[in-house]
A and B are shown apart, each in its own frame.
Chain A
Amino acid sequence: MSEGIVREILRGTDLAIFGYFVALNSSYLVLMVMAGLEFARHLRRVPFAGADDMFRSPLTLPVSVIVPAHNEGASIVAAVQAMTALRYPRYEVVVVDDGSSDDTFEQLRAHFDLVEVPRVVPSEVPYRSQVLSVHVARANPQTLTVVRKTNGGKADALNVGINLARHPLVCMVDADSVLDPDALLSVAKPFGDDPLRVAACGGVVRIANGCRVVGGRVVDVRMPRQWLVRVQVVEYLRAFLMGRTGWSRLGGLVVISGAFGVFRRDLVVAVGGLDPETIGEDAELVVRLHHHLRETRRHDYRVIFVAEPVSWSEAPASLRVLGRQRRRWHRGIAEILGKHRRMILNPRYGRIGLLALPYYVLFELLAPFVELAAVVLLPLGLWIGAVDVGFAWRFVLVAYGYGLLVSLVSLFIEEVSFHRYPRWSDMARGVAAAVLENFGYRQILAVWQIAGVLGAVRGRQAVWGAMQRQGFGGDVDSPEMVGAGRG
């Protein structure tokens, strides 16, 4: 009798999980259709978008590019060189050396001939570290500034950079990002086209592994060599490129990657800068901006995502590093949703409160738990006879097949719109990666993500724990809130 009940419950749970998978993938499909429409709209407008006029106009809004760096001695010079050679009429680069213990600063000083300037650092946004010195490049004092400060983490470094930024737009860039020459132009353009509404604009991040990079520029786009990274390429296309474009079109974009995003400086100052206590400080800033703007301006503002390829990052090539990154990302999601839980399902926050944040709770935060539950409960159901073999294999095929379809659709849209992978073999590898993703990758991802959520729950109890040295360089700890999980 009790065994019958258990069997019924298990059967019901399996069906519920199945329903969840279908709903999850259907939501991805909807986002992708939105993204497809957005790309079509965008591409039809390229001939009259006026990028050249923007480049020539003396009135184009100047940008301060803020580059936080922690122990980047090996690559910082090449990175800064590339960043000072972008196609944009007027901008400055502010490098913030966040207490590096290596030769990051020495490299910069030697190469750019830095001179110290006793600058007065305002505290328009609060920061908690100490600014040691400010330097400018002797040959270009107005375009390159380097700040040395005591270690305080990425968010704190960005806050110092925001204080020193002299221009009305600030662009936050990871030191290891490889930018396209037109990156700033593409991402700053919405501010010029719709200055009264655009509050922030994010750029897409793609994976640089395998690509040929010459002089800080991606010159040949290729698939990476390892399957682990190839799977991530498909994942990035689906979650970053399509997912965020879709959300941007729906007016519910809550994530702008810290690897490349442009913000109005006055708004960042108004909300108090980045929060050094949160792991996904970039996404948290965007949610806080929404919070602020919804309260002060109701709904007449925009947070935009630009799909034009702008920024390339190195993705983790080992399981260990990938695991650390994904634990961080999911911990970030959990912390942000916890911190802003009052916005969730609150009609006051419009689409953000009623649609975007609940979606993140349901389909990002909970997804790894359901994924893992399926892996455990389905075999269990089979074992005690709650479900039969015929149901089980059909269940698996439909759930994973739908996921595969979603990935293929994103590859298809990429092929129609940007087609950045010119080789046939690379396209075939992309399709193969979309299949392979289902065997092992999704499952292990779910484990890391759950660990991240648990970390957030534990972390909340000990926020003021020992302050460790914080690094954020390279592909390791780049915090990024992303729903790159399942497909």
Chain B
Amino acid sequence: MLWLFTVVIAVLAGIVAVTALAIVVVRLSRRRRQRTLARLAAQPRRALLAFVAENGEEGGDELVAIPDDAWRAAEPHALALLGKLRGEAHLGLVSVFLRRGAARTALGRLRSRSRVRRARAAQVLGDLELRRAVPELCRLLTDRHAEVRVVAVRALGRIGDPSAAWRIIAALDRSDPVPSLLATHTLVQLGPEAEVTLSAALDHPQARVRAVCLDALGLLGAAGSVKRIARVLSDDTYLDVRVSAATTLGKLGTRSALEPLSQALRGSRPTPLRAAAARALGDLGAAAAVPALVEVLGDDAYQVAHEAAHALRRLGPAGIDALREVVDGEEAERSGAHTRFSGAAAHAREALAMAEVLRGERVGAAA
């Protein structure tokens, strides 16, 4: 028995020593690698800076001629710069990448067996905003791994080719969909040309697709779709979709949205929808919404009353006056100083105070 212990102790001591040594070795080798990289990258980084500062007019050949190992060392900086530039400087830097064969390599790697390599390649193609990579990136939207699909969606957004819209929508309609907010953002990046596709997808059987398309239409300012969206608001079977429709109508800001939104504010509707409708009426900016909002100020549901009060605040003078009226009416009624404000007046007071502060912020800062 004891000999076993002795052996174990010896083995343990050995492993402890090896681990301690490994810490030292890892640190030494990392430092050496970093020094080498820094040395290699120094010259290319200077050249890069000069190149983009001159809007990519001079020094391109010099960058293309940089040996591969030195370029690899400087590549993270170059990619980082890419995201911070636009105009000729950006185009110039992209052309350097293309002339160095970065696009070809990345396109090839999109079919790599390693998911990390596929994702990295998609990221690079997005950074380069390479239009001809769109079909290949769309193919990646059905990749087996969620993380690859996510990078592909982001890359497609950077590139901004509206023809990708329906493929992105399709990527939402699966059991493990791409994240909704990411898809929305990407669809918005595709620009107004994607509107037709988005509007058509409002009849999609998958609720998630409808919600995303609504959000994207709102951010794109697709005023032409108001009628269709109003129909979704009143008829859709999914609450989340109807909430999205209300929010979108608020963003689009046309008068024809007033009626359907006021309908959605009615007491029989679910609370989240009513809150969204109240908020949207505030976004809409139509003074005609004031009576409907005042009516729900005293609502039992906190969210509804809260949103209504702040919507009134955002409606400007007409809304503010209505809020003040509610507070004044209450104050006149109160007999003692200690009675609490009712729900409606409390929410109105809060909104008025916020309006005061926000006004002060503008005036004070401008002075």
Contacts and interface: CB of A to CB of B under 8 A. Distances in A.
B8 interface: yes
Interface in B111-127: 116, 119-120, 122-123
A401 B11 CA distance: 10
Contact of B9 (A122, A401, A424, A427): A401
B42 interface: no
B150 A193 contact: yes
Interface stretch (B56-64, B90-98, B162-170, B178-186): B178-186
A29 to B, nearest CB: 11
Contact of A115 (B76, B150, B349, B357): B357
Interface string B337-363: 000000100110110011001101100
Contact of B358 (A47, A59, A141, A397): A141
A401 B13 contact: yes
Contacts of B150: 50, 193
Interface in A106-125: 115-120, 122, 124
A475 to B, nearest CB: 29
Main secondary structure of the interface of A (DSSP, over half): helix
A390 B182 CA distance: 65
Q: How large is the interface on A (under 10, 10 to 19, 20 to 34, 35 or more residues)?
A: 35 or more
Contact of A58 (B22, B185, B364): B185
B181 A427 contact: no
Contact of A394 (B5, B30, B180, B305): B5
B357 A394 contact: no
B335 interface: no
B366 interface: no
A120 B310 CA distance: 12
A48 B306 contact: no
Nearest to B356: A115
Main secondary structure of the interface of B (DSSP, over half): helix
A300 B116 CA distance: 24
A401 to B, nearest CB: 5
Contact of A398 (B9, B76, B303, B343): B9
Interface in A37-70: 44-45, 47-48, 50, 52-53, 57-61
24 contacts: A45-B116, A50-B123, A57-B181, A59-B182, A60-B181, A115-B357, A115-B360, A120-B306, A138-B357, A141-B357, A141-B358, A194-B179, A195-B180, A196-B177, A391-B2, A394-B9, A397-B9, A401-B9, A405-B16, A412-B19, A412-B22, A412-B26, A415-B27, A431-B20
Given A45-B147, A136-B357, 19 more contacts: A48-B151, A50-B123, A60-B181, A119-B350, A120-B350, A138-B357, A141-B354, A192-B179, A192-B181, A193-B147, A193-B150, A193-B179, A390-B2, A391-B5, A405-B16, A408-B19, A411-B23, A412-B23, A415-B26
Interface of A: 44-45, 47-48, 50, 52-53, 57-61, 115-120, 122, 124, 136, 138-141, 192-196, 390-391, 394-395, 397-398, 401-402, 404-405, 408-409, 411-412, 415-416, 419, 424, 427, 431
